[in-house]
Amino acid sequence: MNRLKGKSILLGITGSIAAYKACELIRLLRREGCEVDVVVTEAAKNFVGKTMLRALSGRPVHDSVWTDDPGTIGHIDLVTKADLILVAPATGNIIAKAANGIANDLLSDCLLARRQALMIAPAMNTFMWENPATQRNVHFLKENGVLFSGPVAGDQACGDNGKGRFKEPEQILEDVVHFFTPKLLTNKKVLITAGPTFEALDPVRGFTNSSSGKQGFAIAKQACLYGADVWLVAGPCHQKTPSGVHRINVTSAQEMLSSVEAICDDVDPDLFISVAAVCDWKPAQSFNQKIKKKSDTELQVEFVRNPDILATVAQRRKGPLCIGFAAETENVQQYAQDKLHKKKLSLVVANKADAIGSDYNEAWFVEATGTTALGKTTKEDLADKLIIKAVQLLTNQKD
């Protein structure tokens, strides 16, 4: 998506065994469109080589404050061009230097000379992380605006298990993207439903659909990146919970409605985006025991309607701004228009039903004032466009 296009990051790598993961981090950062300058400490070079780092970054790798060019001051020039300084992995040593203003190598010189944001991704033994001195330094840095990505708990190379483990490069990348994303939804609360529902017929059988939850989870992720507090009510699916999102797992449509109403009562969201593919019908009767197959009879199932979650929220007095999705096999835009007016929504995202389970979506924004074609795009890109549109709708509502 080139989410970091035009950005410049100064990446500091220190002497942790997790230094090899910085190679993948460089690759991910560059794939998102940003320029990466690398500074390595002497200790870091015991774990990862300058040749590899130069090949991955496409730029010279810096390891000394001394330079043969009399017209440059290494640490000043590196810091001046960077939009963000990222130290990943960061040892307890570099954290202590940053907290106490110690500058005795190129990386610590850069940290002392910086005027832009600093993000630190720690990686160290759990006992080193929990040491009062480290915690004191971390607390001081956080109080002074330094951002931290991790650490997380887990198995460590030394055999210990606990907090201090380096965050995975993909997670650090998302923290970097979050930093650069304008916080257009700061102080806004967003409620999203995602995935299918499952309506049980007996303990082993039921009725559902093929929704993967990908679109709803992508929207939740983008809303969080834009600064919102996000609650995600998810039906049965296997998507990873985006960082910072409050996830509630449900199974049936009735459970989803109950969770949505409880969140509306407790949280009072500003925005509700109904993405879940809720089963419209459920068996009128469910059985406590497995229904046995009999050769001389046919099974007949009577269905009753499930509650309409989106309509229920849209009818709430002083409820949130409501956005719905309409996945159709035919007359996509017309059916979306019908849904918009019938449920009195602010926006309906119309899309073809074949997008279910896919990584791509062809969609239209359907409003009372007209329809906007978005074309075929990734679900992540559609999520970004939808959040930008939601910000506009919220602003217009306020005005």
Those residues whose C-beta lies under 8 Å from the C-beta of residue 193, and which sit 6 or more positions away, are 216, 232, 233, 234, 235, 256, 260, 273, 274, 275, 276, 278, 309
Q: What is the residue type of 189?
A: K
How far apart CA 318 and CA 241 sit, in angstroms, is: 29
**Residue 26: which of 18, 42, 17, 37 has the closest Cα?**
37
> In angstroms, rounded to a whole number, what is the distance separating the alpha carbons of residues 165 and 249?
28
Q: Which of 23, 34, 110, 158 is catalytic?
A: 158
Two structure tokens written together for 152? 């997380």
Identify which of 86, 70, 74 has the alpha carbon closest to the alpha carbon of residue 35.
Answer: 86
The amino acid at residue 13 is I
158 as an active site residue: the answer is yes
- The answer to whether 215 and 275 are in contact (CB under 8 A) is yes
Rounded Cα gap, residues 311 and 339, in angstroms: 10
List residues with catalytic annotation: 158
